């Protein structure tokens, strides 16, 4: 004769995010997830300091008049473009986050770097603490040479085996192939920013 009571708590919408109805490039959508293309130069999350619309505002605007809660499963830096995968509910987010923790989600990037690597395929395994540091966290980056470009630049395909902050930029800079126009880890070029694109995301 036990009595079990269950209270279903509704998700709380972020009151500080103003949805913006604008162009959003949708790459994939089903009942549980939506994958969109984030342009370079915009933030993934909203901030009171951002001068341009964030991806969060654009996604929430896409779902109007529904009060959508933004649950990105991968995050990209402001100047990194490419795929951002977003869960439509808390349960779907939990399922995929579990895959991410078990390294079952594969992320592949394309980058423009200074210099031409000697090897066509190479792996960088160096601990990172904002820079390569023996006391930092283990990090592994796999690189494949795609083609040589003009002005001593190259295009690389990069697979992340770990997800440290600025991992690709730190690792490539450390071995002498910084991202072109990377003002933080390479050379600042007025009017330009680095080219790093999250172009493939694989998951079950």
**Per-run averaged pLDDT (10 residues), the chain, 204 residues:** 87 81 95 97 86 92 94 93 96 93 91 95 93 91 96 96 91 96 92 93 92
Confidence (pLDDT) at 131: 86
CA distances from 90 to 17, 20, 119, 133 (A): 19, 23, 43, 36
Confidence (pLDDT) at 11: 73
Q: Say if residue 93 is preceded by a cis peptide, omega within 30 of 0.
A: no
CA-CA-CA-CA torsion sign (86, 77, 190, 200): negative
* CA 138/CA 201 separation, integer angstroms: 22
* CA 193/CA 38 separation, integer angstroms: 15
pTM above 0.95, yes or no: no
Confidence (pLDDT) at 13: 74
Confidence (pLDDT) at 122: 96
Confidence (pLDDT) at 16: 77
Confidence (pLDDT) at 142: 97
The set of catalytic residues is 77
């Amino acid at each position: 004769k036990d009595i079990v009571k269950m209270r279903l708590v509704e998700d709380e919408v972020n009151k500080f995010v103003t949805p913006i109805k604008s162009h959003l490039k949708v790459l994939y959508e089903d009942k549980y997830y939506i994958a969109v293309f984030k342009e370079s130069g915009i933030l993934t999350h909203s901030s009171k300091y951002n001068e341009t619309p964030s991806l969060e505002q654009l996604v929430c605007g896409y779902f109007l008049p529904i009060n959508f809660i933004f649950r990105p499963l991968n995050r990209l830096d402001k100047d990194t473009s490419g795929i951002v995968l977003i869960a439509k509910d808390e349960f779907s987010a939990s399922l995929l986050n579990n895959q991410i923790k078990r390294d079952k989600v594969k992320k592949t990037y394309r980058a423009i770097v200074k210099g031409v690597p000697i090897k066509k395929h190479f792996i960088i395994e160096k601990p990172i603490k904002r820079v390569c540091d023996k006391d930092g966290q283990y990090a592994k980056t796999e690189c494949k040479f795609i083609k040589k470009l003009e002005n001593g630049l190259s295009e690389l395909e990069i697979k992340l085996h770990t997800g440290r902050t600025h991992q690709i930029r730190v690792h490539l800079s450390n071995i002498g192939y910084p991202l072109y126009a990377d003002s933080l880890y390479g050379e600042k070029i007025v009017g330009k920013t680095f080219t790093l694109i999250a172009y493939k995301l694989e998951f079950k």
